[in-house]
């Protein structure tokens, strides 16, 4: 069972090494980690380190970490999967992104009311280089499972990044648009609201829609 640990620590060399060494000593397996410098509030300039750990003795890990001089505060937290759940990512032109989001958020709300956890992330972005970089970055997003591309024209470098993204197992839904992206997407949907709805249905544990069963189709 996954468990989370949130740590506030001094921003200095060796902190991450000391923390991960303790996790290894207690036979914990780190499945997710993030660290960044806090830029506001009481802990301005300090480091926030968050781990999701599988196995091991969590109580002993926390006890040992508290004894480190660099550690200021430490708390056990629920893993992101239990809080924010699976993620739908929507990229493209602002007006179309908002329409896809309407479908995705409405459908996610229906499932989340019944105990699931599905979150929707949107980013209005234009330009081949900018969209290509955004698509490339999706593979680095924790819990991202479906990408919806919403625009009127996408191809070139964007198409190449979509091909690479699909290798990581993330499904790609494209709106019906000009360019080569629709030819490499898993499915093409003409209605942006429906595209958002289908994205959520695919990752829901209760819905009966599976992109793999309609792969290559235009709707």
SS3 192: helix
pLDDT of res. 213: 81
Give the tens place of pLDDT for each residue, 46-87. Answer: 999 999 999 999 999 999 999 999 999 999 999 999 999 999
Measure the CA–CA gap between 209 and 90, rounded to whole angstroms: 19
Cα distance between residue 73 and residue 157, in whole Å: 44
CATH architecture of 2-79: 2-Layer Sandwich (3.30)
pLDDT digits (tens, 9 = 90+) for 91-148: 999 899 999 999 999 999 999 999 999 999 999 999 999 999 999 999 999 999 999 9
Q: Which residues contact 138 (CB under 8 A, 6 or more apart)?
A: 89, 91, 144, 147, 165, 170
* Structural domain spans, the chain: 2-79, 84-214
Percent of the chain residues topping a pLDDT of 90: 91
Q: Which CATH class is domain 84-214?
A: alpha beta
148 vs 214 pLDDT, higher one: 148
Report whether pLDDT(149) > 80: yes
Average pLDDT over residues 190-209: 93
Q: Is the pLDDT of residue 216 over 80?
A: no
Mean per-residue pLDDT of the chain: 95
> d(Cα 87, Cα 49) in Å, to the nearest integer?
22
Q: What is the pLDDT of residue 210?
A: 83
d(CA 186, CA 147): 10
- Whole-angstrom distance, CA of residue 173 vs CA of residue 17: 40
**Helices and strands in the chain: count of H runs, count of E runs:** 8, 9
Cα gap 117→136, rounded to integer Å:
25
Q: What is the pLDDT of residue 129?
A: 96
pLDDT for position 219 = 78
Return d(Cα 131, Cα 118) in angstroms, integer.
24
Q: What is the mean predicted confidence (pLDDT) over 171-193?
A: 96
pLDDT at 217 over 80: no
């Amino acid at each position: 069972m996954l468990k989370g640990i949130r740590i506030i620590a001094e921003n200095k060399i060796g902190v991450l090494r000391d923390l991960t060494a303790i996790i290894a000593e207690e036979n914990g397996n780190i499945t997710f980690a993030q660290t960044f410098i806090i830029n506001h509030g009481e802990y301005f300039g300090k480091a926030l380190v968050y781990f999701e750990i599988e196995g091991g003795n969590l109580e002993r890990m926390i006890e040992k970490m508290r004894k480190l001089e660099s550690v200021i505060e430490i708390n056990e937290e629920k893993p992101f999967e239990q809080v924010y759940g699976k993620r739908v990512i929507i990229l493209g032109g602002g007006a179309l992104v908002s329409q896809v989001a309407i479908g995705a958020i409405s459908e996610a709300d229906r499932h989340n009311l019944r105990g699931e956890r599905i979150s929707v992330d949107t980013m209005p972005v234009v330009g081949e280089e900018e969209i290509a970089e955004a698509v490339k970055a999706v593979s680095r997003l924790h819990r991202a499972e479906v990408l919806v591309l919403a625009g009127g024209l996408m191809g070139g470098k964007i198409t190449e990044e979509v091909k690479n993204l699909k290798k990581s197992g993330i499904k790609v839904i494209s709106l019906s648009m000009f360019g080569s992206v629709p030819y490499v997407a898993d499915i093409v949907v003409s209605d942006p609201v429906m595209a958002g709805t289908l994205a959520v249905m695919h990752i829901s544990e209760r819905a009966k829609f599976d992109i793999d069963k309609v792969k290559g189709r235009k709707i």
